Amino acid sequence: MTISPGDPLRLLTWQYFGEELRRLREAAGLTQAELAAQVYVSASYIAQFEAGRRKPNEDVAKRLDDALKTGGTFWRFVKKLIEDQPVFAPHVLSFLELEREAVACYVFESNRVPGILQTRRYAEALFRAYRPHAPVDDDEIAELIESRTKRGARLGAPHHMQLWTVIHESALRTPVGGPDTMHEQLLHLVDQVHSKRAVVQVLPFSAGATGVMLDSFTLLRFADLPPVLHTEALYNGIMRDEASVLDGAFEVYAQLRSAALSPSASLELIESLSQGNPDSAPPGQRG
């Protein structure tokens, strides 16, 4: 039986995971902080695992098994739940579940439109670029596209998650999927801004190394949980919630917003590009 991420049975299963983690930790005579030090996460993460509020990925589950000498029980538990969602990599599934709970999302993207703002055709072009040998009717790509395009519903009623995103100018000028697909994507960005579903700022080429040398990242805020920083590499993602890390990440994000064009100037640039003006320069840089 497949358990969807929001299924009540899945939530109960994660609560059981947390109860077992707490029982075995206490039996081992470890505090949450002591266990956290052994598995390289923060003590607050251990507390949230035990409460069933957040879910460890496979790597963390393996380290929990090693620390508590469970013979792989936690890893098999997590792996089974992840296999119920075979189309997603484990770190992607973890991020999507967190995004569904977030009340605010702050994104920096260095080379593409953020996933939550992608159109169906733009998303398909990206997935097919990642999997160039996939058949036209590939079921996994179809499911990935469906999942990505549904994420935009978080920005409307009844959820109203606040989204603020800084996008490097290169992402807007790279013709993903060809001119027609990119035109549609740019119009979609314009619509999202006009409808107040997102605030978009463009980090122009003229910003220099500030935009070029940073990897993409996302900051998530929650109603009653600590914020989370998410960064993603080719085959893994990293979640951090330590106060010092988050302070630094929000400071970097503030610097990016300061270096970027204002929301109104960004909208003007996106509208100009959507109208087929590839030579458009950001406001203030036009001759």
CATH number at residue 196: 3.30.870
Dist CA 65 CA 244 (whole Å)? 28
Say which CATH number the domain at 73 has: 1.10.260.40
In a domain, 284, yes or no: no
Residue 67 pLDDT: 96
For residue 218, give the 3-state DSSP assignment.
strand
The number of residues in the chain equals 287
State whether 35 and 165 are in the same domain. no
Taking 3-state DSSP, the helix, strand and coil percentages for the chain, each rounded to the nearest 5, stand at 55, 10, 35
| Residue 132 and residue 61 share a domain | no
Whether residue 279 is contained in a domain is answered as no
- Answer yes or no: is 168 within a domain: yes
For the chain, what is the domain count? 2
Question: Which of residues 56, 83, 110 is at a domain's end?
Answer: 83
Same domain, 117 and 202: yes
Query: Do 199 and 265 have their domain in common?
Result: yes
One domain, residues 233 and 108? yes
Quick check: is 117 in a domain? yes
Tell me, yes or no, whether 107 and 228 share the same domain.
Answer: yes
Tokens 């029982």 sit on residue:
23
Helix axes 139-150, 120-130, angle to 10 degrees: 140
pLDDT at position 6: 44
Q: Let me know whether 146 and 36 are in one domain.
A: no
d(CA 75, CA 81): 10
Please check whether residues 173 and 40 belong to one and the same domain: no
The pLDDT value given to residue 126: 94
Q: What's the pLDDT score for residue 35?
A: 96
Residue 3 is assigned to a structural domain of this protein: no
How big is the chain by its Cα radius of gyration, in Å? 21
Query: In the chain, at which residue ranges do the beta strands (DSSP E only) sit?
Result: 104-109, 162-168, 199-203, 217-221, 228-232, 237-240
Which residue in the block uniquely carries the two structure tokens 């160039």?
Answer: 132
Token readout for 211 is 């935009």
CB 118 within 8 A of CB 149: yes
pLDDT at 50: 92
Indicate whether 60 and 177 sit together in one domain: no
pLDDT digits (tens, 9 = 90+) for 42-80: 999 899 999 888 888 888 999 999 999 999 999 988 887
Residue 273's Cβ-count burial label (10 Å; 0-12, 13-18, 19+) is buried
Contacts 24+ apart (CB under 8 A), 84-92: 84/2, 84/3, 84/10, 85/2, 85/5, 87/140, 87/143, 87/144, 87/147, 88/147, 89/235, 89/237, 90/57, 90/58, 91/57, 91/232, 91/236, 91/237, 91/238, 92/232, 92/237
Q: What pLDDT score does 96 carry?
A: 85
Domain boundaries, position 77:
8-83
- Report if residue 89 sits inside a domain: no
Spatial distance between the Cα atoms of 192 and 122, rounded to a whole number of angstroms: 15
Last residue of a domain, one of 54, 83, 112: 83
The CA–CA distances, whole Å, from 5 to 83, 91, 211, 236 equal: 12, 14, 34, 19
Q: Among the three residues 83, 115, 140, which one is the final residue of a domain in this structure? A: 83
Domain membership flag for residue 164: yes
Whether 75 and 210 share a structural domain: no
For 233-269, the pLDDT digits (tens) are 777 788 888 999 999 999 999 999 999 999 999 999 9
One domain for residues 208 and 263: yes
Judge whether 256 and 108 are in contact, CB under 8 Å: yes
Same domain (yes/no): 143, 269: yes
Q: Which parts of the chain have pLDDT scores under 70?
A: 1-12, 82-91, 211-212, 278, 281, 284-287
In a domain, 88, yes or no: no
HSE, CB side, 13 Å, CA atoms: give it for residue 24.
20
- CA-to-CA distance for 180 and 65, rounded, in angstroms? 50
